[in-house]
Amino acid sequence: MSGIDLTDVVKRFGALTVIDKVNLKVGEGEFVVFVGPSGCGKSTLLRMIAGLEEISDGELQIGGRRMNETPPAERGIAMVFQSYALYPHMSVERNLGFALETARLGAGEIKERVSKVARFLKIEHLLHRRPAQLSGGQQQRVAIGRALVRSQKLFLFDEPLSNLDADLRMEMRVEIARIHRELKATTVYVTHDQLEAMTLADRIVVLKDGRIAQVGTPMELYERPASKFVASFIGAPR
Ligand code: ADP
Ligand code: MG
């Protein structure tokens, strides 16, 4: 049970309203992408779903249960950020398993889960390296691996590929699509890359000034953008 339901969700920072009554349902297993200009509220909305920002008003449900007050660790969510935030002094293996150590799993179980994820992401040969000995793409695989290892049903990505060069970005885009196909986890993915949005999304949410400008499948937005604004992100040139 990992569908997301946002009802009239508001976020204020002091006098500033940065998310203004957003209503959105993300279906179980759906891949939804948030796009919009810098500062429109993409990260804030994602962080509210994750529990890293308090919700000022409105309701968040995950799997049909109200989550407004639920601590992040109890929301069944794995989040991948733009900066990989790997622990530099730990091996890849330990980076992958660390969240499980704090969840008090046994060493055997941790090793088993870590090697399964490492196989899945094709990073088995890197398990004994430190993050500094990895390429950007490899580091990003480890960051995704850390999310996978906890076998959550809901993934949140905040511009996970924006630090990578174009080739690696394409490779990782294919990889993320594969992960979603195989795990069918509900996914919310923030990007400013139109190609990423078009190729990964079941539905795209275009945000403007903390409000939803349009929601639809990539084809719907591409062929029938509701405004010039939406067209400038996704639509066919005209
Ligand atoms: P995006 O991810 O779309 O670039 P953000 O969600 O990061 O946008 O930011 C949305 C708005 O909220 C911006 O105007 C930003 O300056 C503001 N904002 C974000 N975090 C804070 C904060 N902790 N305190 C005050 N304002 C914030
Ligand atoms: Mg952001």
Report the amino acid identity of residue 133. Answer: Q
Q: What is the pLDDT of residues 123-161, one digit of tens each?
A: 999 999 999 999 888 998 999 999 889 878 899 999 988
Which pLDDT belongs to residue 66? 97
Residue 155 φ then ψ, to 5°: -115, 135
What ipTM score was computed for the predicted complex, to two decimals?
0.98
Local confidence band at 235 (pLDDT 50, 70, 90 cut-offs): low
Q: For residues 210 and 182, which has the higher predicted lDDT (pLDDT)?
A: 210
pTM attached to this predicted model: 0.92
Closest atom of ligand 1 to 207 CA is 3
DSSP symbol at 73 = G
CA 59 to chain CA centroid, nearest Å: 20
Are the C-beta atoms of residues 151 and 96 closer than 8 Å to each other?
Answer: no
Residue nearest to atom 15 of ligand 1 (CA): 39
Distances (CA, A) of 169 to 70, 129, 146, 180, 220: 34, 22, 19, 16, 25
First to last CA, the chain: 41
Give yes or no for residue 164 CB within 6 A of ligand 1: no
Q: Give me ligand 1 centre to Cα 41, in Å.
A: 6
- Those residues whose beta carbon sits under 5 angstroms from the ion ligand 2 are 43
